[in-house]
């Protein structure tokens, strides 16, 4: 009798574990529809969302986000390392001016604006003036973004994304993570900072292959006291205006090509609407 009861108990425990595992599996695939079992569903959703994004970007804006490395500069100031402070300021100004010129000369797909990363929250809250910077890298209060839709561009790593498509009501709570793959000049992200997904051409597949090769350049910059100084910077050979212009030109052409293929496609599925932002 006892032996039979043990058999029933083991069978019941096994059944309970199986049900629990099944429930967890369903919950996981429901939350992350990019898992293997739902790849077709994810691909179809990605295709529709990408069509909506590219058509809106054409008449919207690209907001290029720069770092000003203010925390590093403040840290140097606290410890009194003026030489390192000047080096960081000069390198930051050099790179941002170089990239701004590359975008202004080569990006033709839509309107483009420039901000510092610390202004991202203001932009997300709907601020359209008093946060954009001009060619001197200073905030210019006369620059106003009139477009409603925008996509963010910045130098970053491309990730094997840890998140799928997220509804807008919870997007601000999701954090992009995953494994870093390549370091590129520009990655396109939605307004919540999540990198876009294929088939949208959200980056140019050129990493900093020559990062170990360096060159010196004499550069004049403005320090924290507003004084004009000269400094010699040692930079990666990938950080040159011709190369960065090529990257931005390729990005612009990729976007235009994708738009041409998707122009006029209708996106009116109510189930997709919460993912369109």
Tens digit of each residue's pLDDT (9 = 90 or more) over 78-136: 999 999 999 999 999 999 999 999 999 999 999 999 999 999 999 999 999 999 999 99
In a domain, 98, yes or no: yes
Give the pLDDT confidence score for residue 41 in this predicted structure. Answer: 84
Query: Quick check: 22 pLDDT over 90?
Result: no
In a domain, 218, yes or no: no
In a domain, 213, yes or no: no
Average pLDDT over residues 21-43: 50
Taking the CA of residue 8 as centre, how many other CA atoms within 13 Å lie in the half-sphere pointing to its CB? 5
Average pLDDT over residues 264-269: 91
Choice among 75-79, 117-121, 136-140, 162-166 with the minimum mean pLDDT: 162-166
Average pLDDT over residues 195-210: 81
Q: How many residues does the chain have?
A: 277
In a domain, 52, yes or no: yes
Query: Quick check: 26 pLDDT over 50?
Result: no
Give the pLDDT confidence score for residue 137 in this predicted structure. Answer: 95
In a domain, 95, yes or no: yes
In a domain, 5, yes or no: no
Interhelix angle 241-262/39-58, nearest 10 degrees: 110
Among 156-170, 208-222, 246-260, which range has the highest average pLDDT?
Answer: 246-260
In a domain, 93, yes or no: yes
Q: Tally the domains of the chain.
A: 1
Q: What is the pTM of this model?
A: 0.83
In a domain, 114, yes or no: yes
Q: Which residue has the higher pLDDT, 149 or 14?
A: 149
Give the pLDDT confidence score for residue 100 in this predicted structure. Answer: 98
Confidence of residue 207 (pLDDT cuts 50, 70, 90): low
Give the pLDDT confidence score for residue 163 in this predicted structure. Answer: 85
Confidence of residue 3 (pLDDT cuts 50, 70, 90): very low
Other residues' Cβ atoms within 10 Å of the Cβ of residue 213: 10
Containing structural domain, residue 79: 36-207+240-270
């Amino acid at each position: 009798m006892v032996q039979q009861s043990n058999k029933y108990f083991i069978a019941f425990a096994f059944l309970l574990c199986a049900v629990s595992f099944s429930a967890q599996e369903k919950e996981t695939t429901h939350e992350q529809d990019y898992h293997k079992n739902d790849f077709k569903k994810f691909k179809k959703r990605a295709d529709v969302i990408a069509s909506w994004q590219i058509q809106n970007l054409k008449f919207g804006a690209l907001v290029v986000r720069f770092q000003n490395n203010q925390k590093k500069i403040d840290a140097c100031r606290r410890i009194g390392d003026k030489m390192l402070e000047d080096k960081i300021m000069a390198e930051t100004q050099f790179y941002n001016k170089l990239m701004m010129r590359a975008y202004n000369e080569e990006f033709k797909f839509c309107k483009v604006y420039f901000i510092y990363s610390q202004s991202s929250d203001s932009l997300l809250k709907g601020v359209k003036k008093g946060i954009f910077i001009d060619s001197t890298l200073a905030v210019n209060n006369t620059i106003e973004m009139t477009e409603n839709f925008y996509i963010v561009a910045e130098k970053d790593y491309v990730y094997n994304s840890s998140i799928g498509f997220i509804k807008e009501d919870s997007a601000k709570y999701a954090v992009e993570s995953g494994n870093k793959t390549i370091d590129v000049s520009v990655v396109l992200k939605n307004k919540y900072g999540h990198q876009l997904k294929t088939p949208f051409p959200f980056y140019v597949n050129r990493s900093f292959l020559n990062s170990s090769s360096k060159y010196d350049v004499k550069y004049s910059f403005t320090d924290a006291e507003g004084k004009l100084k000269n400094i010699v910077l040692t930079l990666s050979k990938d950080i040159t205006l011709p190369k960065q212009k090529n990257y931005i030109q390729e990005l612009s052409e990729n976007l235009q090509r994708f738009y041409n293929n998707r122009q006029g496609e209708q996106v009116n599925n109510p189930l997709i609407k919460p993912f369109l932002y």
